[in-house]
Structure 1
């Protein structure tokens, strides 16, 4: 029942809000959506603890089943999605993008799209059938496209059209490659069950494994995204409403890295190991490229988007190591990036809502003086993003570097990538300090100007403060007690990689 409620409640309510509930008043739609997100989130946490199984035949002739189950690999991501789902719906009391949406944008459609993204992510993380995983993955894309294209930046219709078109085109191409890889894997192995696939796929030849791994990895690399397939992400983040950016960073990107773990790494490890050096190099280039752009980027929201490209580079570097340590690094790096990026996008979205833009070239008073709660949350997010010990970002990056230094194979290439990635970590410190100097330290202004700035930038309170406080607490808890994640994923990762290489 917990699994069924986890999938059904946000999915059914979201679909109803988009189709039949569009005429609902905004206050009613928000309440309905929050209840649905809360029920779905509680059911998801219950399913994570109790680990029930739903397994029913769906398409017997193709061997496709309705098979849902939460295991150690997916459990942290299910919990992350549950928490983020509630927070983005609650954030609708702070930011109301439907009020500025062109045409027939409504609160119900906006909230329904949020719920559909959450429901699709739940289904993808819990799916234990490869075809079912693909279908659940695709459910997420259409409502996200609507959020970007209809409820994005109201000041530029051209930017919305460009960002939404890039998003759907890139992800559609990635989905096509992923589907071809899944179908090839399933037909050659004779099963779509993710529990049986590793043993069945072991009979594939070396060339077939390499082809399947290549198709799956490229298709999923678009979703992560991995350099040079990342160019859709900054535009999508910059244009999307705050809740859309939070979902994109904390949930949608995680589907890509989770897919890499669940499909090519688990099922065709020999083929994946052959392309792992290329994946590692692409990840490291993304770390450097994202860091260098962040050093000069003027738009703060776009800067956080490019920092995501850099941080996800550490995740794929850990996966490319082919070791249990590397997969552990990727999984905790996923969760850490989810909460850190969500916190930063909530803060930056709030600043953009107050200021009208987040152009770093505009001289503004110190955020620490005019809005101390926002300023503290910003410093916490930046410190976590640069990998400061004691905060969430530290463990994913450190363990990924250790895994790359001691890989399963391709030692020379992976160790070189580890050294270069360490330089990228230094770049993260540089651009984080740059943002802190410009926004948090700010400029010294006269008292009358400071009073005007306080009026223009009211501090976080009520729902906004609660959202930031919860995300900030998660950043600290994961940093201080990483075993909260490691203890959940350890056994599953050992079984997945095989013997803890």
Structure 2
């Protein structure tokens, strides 16, 4: 019941935060803090009781009939991959709360209600193994995030919220159609109506059906990732969202797209995924380079960090569709490391905007002398973002490129250019904002000087920095935790590739069978 308890604590905590603010101003923050701490304690208990090396696939599972007539159940389960995503979700939720403790000045109860419900929806997404329940939580996490942007966002928040809603809802509709079609095809073949993921893995699909259903899932997850050209909602949403909303978007919500691809798209449609893999890898490589170029061109620091997320998540897409363990381990590490580093960068931008009332780097400069603590921390996370050896981001990107190189040399070489672009935009951001001469117009309100990060903000940042150093120097615990889940997700793909290779053993290598034979770097 631990998984259900975590979701319930977050849902009920959101309601409690909304209610207590009416009677005692400021109490909603403490209710939110209590909900997150209790959830982390429950997650720690789950980790302590887990047996990752056992033959049982899931560390913990709960299945209760919900709508039996349509084969819908309340089916939650967690394995190593799900645990990593849950830990990232709850830790980043706590980090966002601590960093923005005093930022929300109006309707705080309703803000923290939406904040906790977004987290509850994400936890549901990472644990649901009934596709109807998965879609339910997918929608639950989107609506509160829409409210966070629309109500507490910045100048153009309405436009950003509408754009976010249109992109996510349109792609969600495609996924819903694909889910219903998959269930219907399975029903025609087996006579059983079920939304159970484990049972749908055995669905017998024609190549054409599998191809179109795979595209429905892929588009929905690629929008959330996001991948070029489905990324255009992200810079606007990030720029206009409040700092806490940007942290949730970057650290958590983007990861639901990558998780969906690994958990659902690859195992459910292995044959279609193999055929589509070269296209997906090309999209990932283009996202890496395109995101880096646009990040370098930005003057708004928040848009720069937003486009850097497009670039970094491109590595995730590239690694997932390389369809080998090394690259996918790198993609999982990138999901964790990017969540830590980019959340910190958005928190830094939020802190600067709170102090300077601008995000335009052309109006900054020389901040190192006035804000030395904030500037030093910003430098650490900037070099983490560009992939400095010894930090988690470097390990992730290196493994993605290593695993992808044996699959497609040219796509991998093109994606590697994104690492050069990352160095350019990260160091340019530091030069424009923190070094050189000050280009800030001093007002009467600034006469007392700027206030550096306080103890609360500094400790929160240092905790994330310590995690990134640990991931860079000791990544093996993450690899060991995720390895069984990755192996299960790759098993259907490996089986299809083995069958194709076996069938083509007695045939000469031709243009027709070359891609299947060489997909994972194997000699045809």
Could you tell me the TM-score, scaled by structure 1's length?
0.91
Q: CA deviation at 1:455?
A: 4.3
- Per the alignment, residue 211 of structure 2 pairs with 210
Tell whether 2:435 aligns with 1:441.
yes
What is the total number of aligned residue pairs between the two structures?
478
Q: Distance in 2 between matches of 1:483 and 1:81?
A: 21
Tell whether 2:133 aligns with 1:140.
no
CA change 1:37–1:440 in 2 (3 A) is same
- Do the aligned partners of 1:42 and 1:82 also contact (CA within 8 Å) in 2? no
Tell whether 2:426 aligns with 1:432.
yes
- Do the aligned partners of 2:365 and 2:434 also contact (CA within 8 Å) in 1? no
- Per the alignment, residue 418 of structure 1 pairs with 412
- Do the aligned partners of 2:299 and 2:360 also contact (CA within 8 Å) in 1? yes
- Per the alignment, residue 194 of structure 1 pairs with 197
Q: Distance in 2 between matches of 1:53 and 1:212?
A: 27
- Do the aligned partners of 2:164 and 2:233 also contact (CA within 8 Å) in 1? yes
- Per the alignment, residue 69 of structure 2 pairs with 61
- Do the aligned partners of 1:266 and 1:497 also contact (CA within 8 Å) in 2? yes
- Per the alignment, residue 464 of structure 2 pairs with 471
- Do the aligned partners of 2:364 and 2:438 also contact (CA within 8 Å) in 1? no
Q: Distance in 1 between matches of 2:447 and 2:335?
A: 36
Q: Distance in 2 between matches of 1:356 and 1:72?
A: 42
Q: CA deviation at 1:197?
A: 2.7
- Do the aligned partners of 1:212 and 1:271 also contact (CA within 8 Å) in 2? no
Q: CA deviation at 1:90?
A: 2.5
Q: Distance in 1 between matches of 2:98 and 2:20?
A: 19
- Per the alignment, residue 183 of structure 1 pairs with 180
- Per the alignment, residue 487 of structure 1 pairs with 480
- The gaps in structure 1 that reach 5 residues or longer are 100-105, 408-413
Q: Distance in 2 between matches of 1:186 and 1:222?
A: 23
Larger radius of gyration: 2
- Per the alignment, residue 22 of structure 2 pairs with 23
- Per the alignment, residue 152 of structure 1 pairs with 153
CA change 1:360–1:182 in 2 (3 A) is same
Q: How does 1:52-451 map to 2 (within 5 A)?
A: 52-96=60-104, 98-99=105-106, 106-153=107-154, 156=155, 159-190=156-187, 191-198=194-201, 200-201=202-203, 203-365=204-366, 367-407=367-407, 414-443=408-437
CA change 1:80–1:455 in 2 (3 A) is farther
Q: Distance in 1 between matches of 2:32 and 2:288?
A: 37
Q: Distance in 1 between matches of 2:287 and 2:212?
A: 24
CA change 1:298–1:52 in 2 (3 A) is same
Cα deviations by residue, 1:309-341 (Å, 9 ceiling, x for unpaired): 000000000111122222212211111110011
- Do the aligned partners of 1:13 and 1:33 also contact (CA within 8 Å) in 2? yes
CA change 1:247–1:163 in 2 (3 A) is same
Q: Which runs of 4+ in 1 moved over 4 A?
A: 452-455
- Do the aligned partners of 1:299 and 1:360 also contact (CA within 8 Å) in 2? yes
Cα deviations by residue, 1:423-449 (Å, 9 ceiling, x for unpaired): 11111011111112122323279xxx9
- The gaps in structure 2 that reach 5 residues or longer are 50-58, 188-193, 496-519
Instruction: Tell which deviates more after alignment, 313-322 or 267-276.
Output: 267-276
Q: Distance in 1 between matches of 2:253 and 2:136?
A: 14
SS of residue paired to 2:81: coil
Q: CA deviation at 1:92?
A: 3.7
Q: CA deviation at 1:453?
A: 7.3
Q: CA deviation at 1:86?
A: 1.6
SS of residue paired to 1:423: helix
Q: CA deviation at 1:12?
A: 1.6
Cα deviations by residue, 1:388-440 (Å, 9 ceiling, x for unpaired): 11111112211111121123xxxxxx322101111111110111111121223
- Do the aligned partners of 2:337 and 2:392 also contact (CA within 8 Å) in 1? yes
SS of residue paired to 2:333: helix
SS of residue paired to 1:428: helix
Q: Distance in 1 between matches of 2:25 and 2:472?
A: 38
Cα deviations by residue, 1:278-332 (Å, 9 ceiling, x for unpaired): 2222222211111111222100011000000000000000111122222212211
Q: CA deviation at 1:40?
A: 1.6
Could you tell me the TM-score, scaled by structure 2's length?
0.87
Q: Distance in 2 between matches of 1:311 and 1:3?
A: 30
SS of residue paired to 1:233: helix
Q: CA deviation at 1:225?
A: 0.7
Q: CA deviation at 1:214?
A: 0.8
Q: Distance in 2 between matches of 1:5 and 1:298?
A: 44
Q: Distance in 1 between matches of 2:44 and 2:123?
A: 11
SS of residue paired to 1:469: helix
CA change 1:358–1:491 in 2 (3 A) is same
Q: Distance in 2 between matches of 1:376 and 1:94?
A: 23
- Do the aligned partners of 2:21 and 2:27 also contact (CA within 8 Å) in 1? no
Q: Distance in 2 between matches of 1:69 and 1:228?
A: 33
- Do the aligned partners of 2:88 and 2:336 also contact (CA within 8 Å) in 1? yes
Q: CA deviation at 1:21?
A: 4.7
SS of residue paired to 2:63: strand
Q: Distance in 1 between matches of 2:260 and 2:284?
A: 16
Q: Distance in 1 between matches of 2:360 and 2:82?
A: 38
Q: CA deviation at 1:221?
A: 0.7
